[in-house]
């Protein structure tokens, strides 16, 4: 929103305060000023002139003018269609600055031209682009006078961030801003001039019926004998500086008063609208807007209708064409109304029209303003067009009143919340300047919240803390340390584990952590035959272009694998992220935090990758988190996993996920050269699982002995089965077995050679060769019982 300092100065004397200071203090006390424009700074040397001669230039639309600028009569070549003899206009003389454009003596159509007749848009003081400015005749006496001395062209305009005014409906007009600045700089605030409406009590009232709950108050008045059609230049300049176009007087003054008091207004042609019905729109109602577009009115939004119940405006959003002001209009019905904020927002969003009015209504306007706005608009109108006659009493239908809010605080409360001593006098003065009703009663300060702050913004003690503190100045509050009892902040295991696991994967296993989205990428999954469920979808289509939420993490990582694979010959990626794994009995999301790892390599076999992944997963589970897990037979796993290369990650208590190789179908679809291993682990579960305690085991002081055995075993025998056979051979000197290797050659039909290593040691003596030999023969004998021979 744009705020003109000239306008503010009508009510507050800001002399001696620089624009920079205003920006600084307003930023720190009220809202963010995003920009400052010094309007008129690049306009100079433009004077009042009168066209006294005009002749056509052959072969051109331009005219040759003689323009009287008081001390001189200038020859000017001008192309304006409205140039005519007798017209008083604005003339930029040679040497003038017209918004950065220097006027020089120039040849146009081969004729010397000594200046330029200016249009309002060229001077940056209006929106009219159709021709040069037409000054009223009385300015004929001012020929040669610099227009800057006649019109308020020099101004400082602040651009205020609309978002930072969301909670301040009172600041959506210059008068509210003036009140705020008067308080910040401790200056006097003058009252806003308005007609006393009670003077018209004797006149008949406009017939207003409010049938819609969305209308909080509807006030209206009528006037006639309107003769002036165009807004005076100073008014047009203000509208222009605040970002609005000047259209015609009646439309302009509704905008003008809205920019002053923050109350949106509407002017209906008084001959076309005589009664008002405020109702909810039914199905299939339409309206022709001022722009000539036919708009469907969303069912249920509030409309203003005439006596025949035909919509003449969409409340708070847009006026209709049929009831609008035209050049023929001589009588007017002014609407000054308040509508419920969310109803207006909904209508405005549905129609796709955000207007100056709708923006204000969305902020919850003060219904008390409607009367002031009518008194003000009639005053402004009569000042411009003195023959105007008010033809109705103040007509008002006021079904919704906000409750007057009363708050009691003590200076101690304010001071303790701010953390700095603030006196009762400071509190009282600040609140009074902001328009609050204040009375001191003993230690208490009793406060009545003004209607313009009471629609949603101020309702409790903490709001008063804010009012006092922000005007006092947050920069005047001294930082103060505070004491807390020293108690250890014991962190959750799941959280500390997260970093430790990430660190392990990224350092020891050369993997890259990626972050993704929660979406279930249906198209990608379908293309690569990845079957995965989605239990929850977005209600409406969205900007994300996706609708379902993922139920597992691996498919997302496979997508990332697919996007990255061509840049590398090995891709190791992982993510700890959340999925919706299902819905509970109440239909609410069952959310799980998962860890998924994808390891693809172009130089490794599926088997190598499987065991690499197994090592990674067991390492992080056992050595980092401390959960005793291993892989076991896996009954249920995703269909994109190879059914013969998959293992269930489980401990004695629970299972946490799987390790597997991609199903050949999916694997080939993703890439022909890569082999890919996948793991998906319920990280929330494993990171919070019962951890095995690390207890130091006794280590023998005597030299240990390592001996290898290579047995011929059936090729489908699991190591676990083999180990349990081996373990039948008990020995006091056996410290344990470890897996060494296995291999298979063509001549080993149905068999494979499996090598394990036994570690032998005694706690009280050095082993003798006899002891070792005895152990060796015992092991071989034990395995023979299972028909397993040493490899020859």
Binding positions for other proteins, 530-549, rule CB under 8 A: 536-540, 542-544, 549
- Contact window for other proteins (CB under 8 A) among 55-63, 78-86, 382-390, 563-571: 563-571
Q: Rounded CA gap, 177 and 261, in Å?
A: 10
Q: Which is nearer to other proteins, 568 or 737 (CB)?
A: 568
Q: Rounded CA gap, 60 and 691, in Å?
A: 94
Q: Which of 568, 688, 772, 780 binds other proteins (CB under 8 A)?
A: 568
Q: Which is nearer to other proteins, 268 or 560 (CB)?
A: 560
Please report whether residue 603 would count as binding other proteins according to CB under 8 A.
no
- Contact window for other proteins (CB under 8 A) among 107-115, 212-220, 471-479, 618-626: 471-479
Measured from the CB of residue 307, what is the shortest distance to other proteins in angstroms?
Answer: 32
3-state SS assignment for residue 311: strand
Q: Restricting to residues 646-685, which ones interact with other proteins according to CB under 8 A?
A: none
Q: Which of 174, 238, 559, 675 binds other proteins (CB under 8 A)?
A: 559
Backbone angles phi and psi of 182, in degrees to 5: -60, -40
Q: Which of 141, 294, 386, 491 binds other proteins (CB under 8 A)?
A: 491
Q: Which is nearer to other proteins, 25 or 376 (CB)?
A: 25
Q: Which of 66, 73, 470, 622 binds other proteins (CB under 8 A)?
A: 470
Q: Restricting to residues 192-231, which ones interact with other proteins according to CB under 8 A?
A: none
Total of chain residues touching other proteins, rule CB under 8 A:
87
Q: Which is nearer to other proteins, 508 or 776 (CB)?
A: 508
Q: Which of 52, 440, 477, 691 binds other proteins (CB under 8 A)?
A: 477
Q: Which is nearer to other proteins, 486 or 769 (CB)?
A: 486
DSSP codes, 86-141: T-EEEEEEEEEEETTEEP--EEETTEEE--EE--HHHHTS----SSS----GGGGG
Please report whether residue 706 would count as binding other proteins according to CB under 8 A.
no
CA atoms within 13 A of residue 281's CA, in its CB half-sphere: 23
Q: Which of 15, 107, 284, 482 binds other proteins (CB under 8 A)?
A: 482
Backbone angles phi and psi of 575, in degrees to 5: -150, 145
Q: Which of 255, 250, 385 is closest to 325 using CA atoms?
A: 250
Measured from the CB of residue 560, what is the shortest distance to other proteins in angstroms?
Answer: 4
Please report whether residue 462 would count as binding other proteins according to CB under 8 A.
yes
**572 with 599: CB under 8 angstroms?**
yes
- Contact window for other proteins (CB under 8 A) among 50-58, 160-168, 612-620, 665-673: 160-168
Please report whether residue 188 would count as binding other proteins according to CB under 8 A.
no
State the Cα angle at 468 between 463 and 474, rounded to 5°: 105
Please report whether residue 417 would count as binding other proteins according to CB under 8 A.
yes
Q: Restricting to residues 11-50, which ones interact with other proteins according to CB under 8 A?
A: 27-32
**90 with 47: CB under 8 angstroms?**
yes
Q: Which of 406, 405, 400, 445 is closest to 422 using CA atoms?
A: 445
Other Cβ atoms closer than 10 A to 476: 11
Q: Which of 283, 489, 693, 746 binds other proteins (CB under 8 A)?
A: 489
Measured from the CB of residue 109, what is the shortest distance to other proteins in angstroms?
Answer: 46
DSSP codes, 607-675: HHHHHHHHHHHHIIIIIII----EEE--S---TTEEEEEEEEEE-SS-EEEEEEEE-HHHHHHH-SS-E
Measured from the CB of residue 418, what is the shortest distance to other proteins in angstroms?
Answer: 5
Residues 6+ apart with CB under 8 A from 631: 614, 618, 647, 648, 649, 650, 659
Q: Which is nearer to other proteins, 252 or 680 (CB)?
A: 680
- Contact window for other proteins (CB under 8 A) among 147-155, 416-424, 627-635, 744-752: 416-424
**53 with 85: CB under 8 angstroms?**
yes
Measured from the CB of residue 498, what is the shortest distance to other proteins in angstroms?
Answer: 8
Q: Restricting to residues 46-85, which ones interact with other proteins according to CB under 8 A?
A: none
Residue with tokens 């949603």: 456
Each residue 722-761 as x (binds other proteins by CB under 8 A) or -, in order, gives: ----------------------------------------
Whole-number Cα distances in Å, 290 to 127, 240, 295, 309, 320: 18, 20, 11, 19, 5
Q: Restricting to residues 506-535, which ones interact with other proteins according to CB under 8 A?
A: 506-507, 509-518
Q: Are strands 311-314 and 73-78 parallel, antiparallel or unpaired?
A: unpaired
DSSP state of 309: -
Q: Rounded CA gap, 691 and 422, in Å?
A: 55
**689 with 654: CB under 8 angstroms?**
yes
Please report whether residue 564 would count as binding other proteins according to CB under 8 A.
yes
Q: Which is nearer to other proteins, 151 or 158 (CB)?
A: 158
Q: Restricting to residues 580-599, which ones interact with other proteins according to CB under 8 A?
A: 580, 583, 587-589, 591, 593
Please report whether residue 505 would count as binding other proteins according to CB under 8 A.
yes
Residue with tokens 């794994």: 581
Handedness of CA 460, 464, 465, 470 (dihedral sign): positive
Question: In sequence order, what are the beta bridge partners of 439?
Answer: 446
Q: Which is nearer to other proteins, 143 or 465 (CB)?
A: 465
Q: Which is nearer to other proteins, 366 or 385 (CB)?
A: 366
Please report whether residue 566 would count as binding other proteins according to CB under 8 A.
no
Q: Restricting to residues 289-348, which ones interact with other proteins according to CB under 8 A?
A: 341-342, 345
Q: Which is nearer to other proteins, 334 or 561 (CB)?
A: 561
Q: Are strands 789-790 and 705-714 parallel, antiparallel or unpaired?
A: antiparallel
Please report whether residue 416 would count as binding other proteins according to CB under 8 A.
yes
Each residue 113-152 as x (binds other proteins by CB under 8 A) or -, in order, gives: ----------------------------------------
DSSP state of 320: B
Q: Which is nearer to other proteins, 495 or 668 (CB)?
A: 495
Measured from the CB of residue 570, what is the shortest distance to other proteins in angstroms?
Answer: 11
Q: Which of 60, 99, 164, 755 binds other proteins (CB under 8 A)?
A: 164
DSSP codes, 287-300: EEBTTS-EEEEPTT
Q: Rounded CA gap, 272 and 128, in Å?
A: 28
Measured from the CB of residue 508, what is the shortest distance to other proteins in angstroms?
Answer: 9
């Amino acid at each position: 929103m744009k705020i003109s300092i000239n306008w503010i100065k009508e009510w507050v004397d800001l002399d001696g305060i620089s624009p920079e200071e205003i920006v600084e203090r307003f930023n720190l006390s009220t809202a963010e000023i995003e920009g400052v424009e010094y309007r008129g700074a690049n306009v100079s040397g433009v004077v009042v002139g009168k066209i006294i001669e005009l002749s056509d230039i052959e072969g051109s639309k331009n005219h040759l003018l003689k323009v009287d600028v008081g001390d001189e009569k200038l020859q000017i070549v001008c192309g304006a269609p409205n140039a005519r003899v007798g017209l008083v206009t604005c003339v930029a003389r040679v040497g003038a600055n017209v918004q950065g454009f220097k006027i020089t003596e120039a040849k146009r159509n081969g004729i010397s031209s000594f200046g330029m007749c200016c249009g309002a848009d060229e001077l940056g003081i209006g929106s009219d682009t159709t021709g040069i400015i037409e000054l009223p005749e009385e300015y004929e006496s001012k020929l040669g006078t610099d227009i800057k001395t006649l019109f308020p062209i020099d101004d400082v305009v602040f651009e205020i961030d609309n978002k930072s005014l969301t909670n301040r409906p009172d600041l959506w007009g210059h008068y509210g801003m003036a009140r705020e600045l008067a308080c910040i700089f401790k200056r006097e605030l003058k009252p806003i001039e308005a007609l006393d409406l009670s003077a018209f009590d004797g006149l008949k009232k406009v017939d207003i019926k409010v049938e819609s709950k969305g209308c909080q108050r509807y006030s209206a008045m009528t006037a006639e004998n309107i003769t002036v059609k165009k807004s005076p230049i100073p008014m047009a300049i203000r509208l222009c500086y605040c970002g609005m176009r000047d259209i015609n007087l009646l439309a302009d003054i509704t905008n003008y008063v809205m920019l002053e008091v923050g109350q949106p207004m509407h002017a209906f042609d008084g001959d076309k609208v005589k009664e008002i019905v405020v109702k909810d729109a039914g199905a299939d109602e339409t309206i022709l807007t001022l722009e000539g577009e036919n708009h469907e009115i969303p069912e249920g939004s509030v409309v203003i209708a005439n006596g025949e119940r035909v919509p003449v405006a969409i409340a708070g959003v847009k006026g209709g064409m049929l009831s609008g002001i035209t050049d023929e209009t001589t009588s007017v019905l002014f609407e000054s109304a308040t509508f419920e904020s969310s109803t207006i927002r909904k209508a405005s969003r549905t129609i796709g029209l955000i207007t100056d009015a709708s923006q204000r209504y969305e902020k919850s306007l003060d219904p008390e303003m409607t009367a002031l706005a009518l008194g003000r608009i009639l005053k402004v109108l009569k000042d411009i067009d003195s023959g105007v006659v008010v033809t109705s009493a103040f007509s008002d239908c006021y079904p919704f009143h906000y409750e007057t809010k009363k708050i009691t605080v003590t200076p101690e409360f304010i001071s303790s919340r701010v953390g700095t001593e603030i006196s009762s006098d400071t509190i009282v003065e600040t609140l009074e300047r902001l328009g609050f009703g204040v009375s001191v009663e003993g230690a208490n300060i009793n406060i009545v919240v003004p209607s313009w702050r009471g629609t949603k913004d101020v309702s409790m003690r903490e709001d008063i803390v804010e009012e006092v503190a922000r005007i006092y100045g947050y920069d005047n509050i001294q930082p103060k340390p505070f004491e807390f009892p020293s108690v250890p902040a014991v962190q959750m295991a799941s959280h500390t584990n997260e970093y430790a696991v990430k660190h392990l994967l990224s350092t020891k296993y050369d993997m890259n952590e990626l972050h993704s989205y929660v979406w279930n990428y249906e198209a990608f999954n379908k293309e690569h035959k990845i079957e995965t469920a989605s239990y929850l979808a977005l209600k409406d289509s969205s900007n994300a272009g996706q609708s379902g939420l993922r139920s597992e993490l691996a498919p997302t990582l496979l997508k990332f694998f697919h996007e990255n694979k061509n840049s590398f010959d090995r891709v190791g990626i992982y993510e700890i992220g959340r999925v919706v794994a299902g819905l509970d009995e109440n239909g609410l999301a069952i959310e799980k935090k998962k860890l998924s790892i994808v390891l693809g390599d172009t130089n490794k076999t599926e088997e190598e990758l499987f065991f690499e992944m197994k090592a990674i997963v067991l390492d992080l589970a056992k050595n980092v988190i401390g959960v005793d897990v291993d892989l076991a037979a896996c009954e249920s796993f995703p269909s994109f996993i190879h059914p013969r290369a998959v293992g269930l990650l489980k401990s004695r208590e629970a299972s946490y996920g799987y390790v597997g190789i991609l199903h050949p179908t999916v694997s080939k679809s993703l890439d022909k050269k890569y082999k890919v291993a996948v793991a998906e682990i319920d990280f929330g579960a494993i990171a919070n699982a019962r951890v095995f305690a690390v207890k130091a085991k006794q280590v023998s002081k005597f030299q240990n002995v390592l001996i290898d055995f290579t047995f011929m075993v059936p090729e489908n025998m699991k190591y676990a089965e083999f180990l349990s056979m081996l373990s039948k051979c008990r020995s006091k000197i056996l410290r344990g077995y470890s897996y060494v290797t296995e291999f298979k050659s063509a001549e080993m039909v149905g068999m494979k050679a499996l090598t394990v290593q036994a570690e032998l040691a005694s706690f009280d003596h050095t082993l003798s060769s006899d002891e070792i030999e005895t152990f060796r023969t015992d092991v071989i004998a034990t395995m023979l019982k299972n028909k397993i021979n040493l490899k020859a």
